[in-house]
Amino acid sequence: MAGATRELTVDLGERSYPILIGTGLLASAGSLFAERGFPVKAPILLVTDASVEERYAPTVERSLREAGYTVSRAVVASGESSKSLAVFDDLITAALEAGLDRKSTVIALGGGVVGDLAGFVAASYMRGVRFVQMPTTILAHDSSVGGKVAVNHRLAKNIIGAFYQPEFVLYDMDTLQSLPIREVRAGLSEVIKHGLIWNESFVQWCDDNAAKMLALDPDTLGYALYEGCKVKAAVVSKDERENDLRAILNLGHTIGHALEAVAGYGQLLHGEAIAIGMVGSARLAARFGYDPKISAETERIFRKFGLPVRIPSGIDPDAVMKAMQHDKKFTEGNMVFVVPTSLGSVEIRSDVPAAWVREIVEQLREENGEA
């Protein structure tokens, strides 16, 4: 598996950083650290999860050690439940025991869970140490870029966190080969989202290259991840702290988050939930008078990728509506939604009648049979 390494920059002034996407990259971790002036004296903490650890941690550690670094490994359980204050506390203990100092680095080697969790450790340990992302899922092309890090609280997801940018993102696509196919699909859902909010021709390209993307063809996938990261980076560069523009990244997420919460975390994957959510947003677009083709095409493309476009039976529409009201995006009768205006651009609307949302949630129920 060869091919050129693609590189792009997240442009944030002094805090700008590169994203490297390619194959065989984990083995070059040590030389990258050395080139970029990470001090050899400062111990490194590699945070990873139980599904990733054995396959990929040794390569990174060997490479770092060969370059003279000291590295300790902290392994958390796989899955969303590790994004908790309790596991965060364990990682602070691990950092202390590994002797991390203010010049140290925390590496996140894993999917979005490890990235968000280890990122919050990096942001908080000694009020902030260096941070490097090594994403190992497709979804993490999204989560590893942009600096949102967080853990969950019993009552709310991602409610405890920081904006904390990594110093670089090292995206070794070889790791994606071991991903379960359902995770592949769910990750591609966010790739397509990046097209839908920003880049019509990329949506077209995804539509044309669905089979190769799903087969993880390295060059096709490399391009897809590069384009996905490019949209994310462009948006984040313009609005790091989500004062306005960055909110467009939430396309499909209002309904999506509610579905995840109601289904019970882990039942619906995040990427699956937001695929359904994006179909919902496209239907809202139609209600606002935009071309109904947006909705039909959105649905067709997600089906092509094997992603769900209907709310699983057993999920109660009332519970979904209620979950959205807990979401920050709700205000008095009207709701705030990212709504597509074409297959490649969106607008943020704060005048979405809750009644329309309710109707669409009803329509999208699997048992309504219109699928």
Ligand X SMILES: NC(=O)c1ccc[n+]([C@@H]2O[C@H](COP(=O)([O-])OP(=O)(O)OC[C@H]3O[C@@H](n4cnc5c(N)ncnc54)[C@H](O)[C@@H]3O)[C@@H](O)[C@H]2O)c1
Question: Amino acid identity of 78?
Answer: S
**Residue 288, burial from CB neighbour count under 10 angstroms (0-12, 13-18, 19+):** middle
Q: Which of 79, 312, 317, 344 binds ligand X (CB under 6 A)?
A: 79
Q: Draw the binding track, 279-318, toward ligand X (x: CB under 6 A; -: no contact).
A: ----------------------------------------
Q: Among 53, 61, 183, 190, which one carries the catalytic annotation?
A: 190
Pick what 280 binds: its own copies, ligand X, none; C-beta below 5 to 8 Å, kind-dependent. Answer: none
Which residues are 106's β-sheet partners?
Answer: 45, 131
Q: In angstroms, give the least distance from the CB of 119 to its own copies.
A: 11
Q: Which of 12, 27, 92, 245 binds its own copies (CB under 8 A)?
A: 92
Binding flag, residue 151, ligand X (CB under 6 A): no
Q: Which of 101, 318, 347, 362 binds its own copies (CB under 8 A)?
A: 101
In 209-253 the beta strands, taken as DSSP E runs, fall at none
Pairing of strands 334-342, 345-353: antiparallel
- List the interface residues with its own copies, window 148-187 (CB under 8 A): 148, 150, 153-156, 159-163
**Distance between CA 362 and CA 153 in Å, rounded?**
29
> Quick check: is 6 catalytic?
no
**Distance between CA 27 and CA 29 in Å, rounded?**
6
Question: Could you tell me how many residues make up the chain?
Answer: 371
User: Closest by alpha carbon to 12, among 241, 209, 341?
Assistant: 241
**Distance between CA 115 and CA 117 in Å, rounded?**
6
Known binding-site residues equal: 78-83, 112-116, 136-137, 148, 157, 190, 253, 270
Q: Which residues bind ligand X (CB under 6 A)?
A: 49, 51-52, 78-80, 83, 110-114, 116, 136-137, 139-140, 142-143, 146, 148, 158, 175-176, 178-179, 183, 270
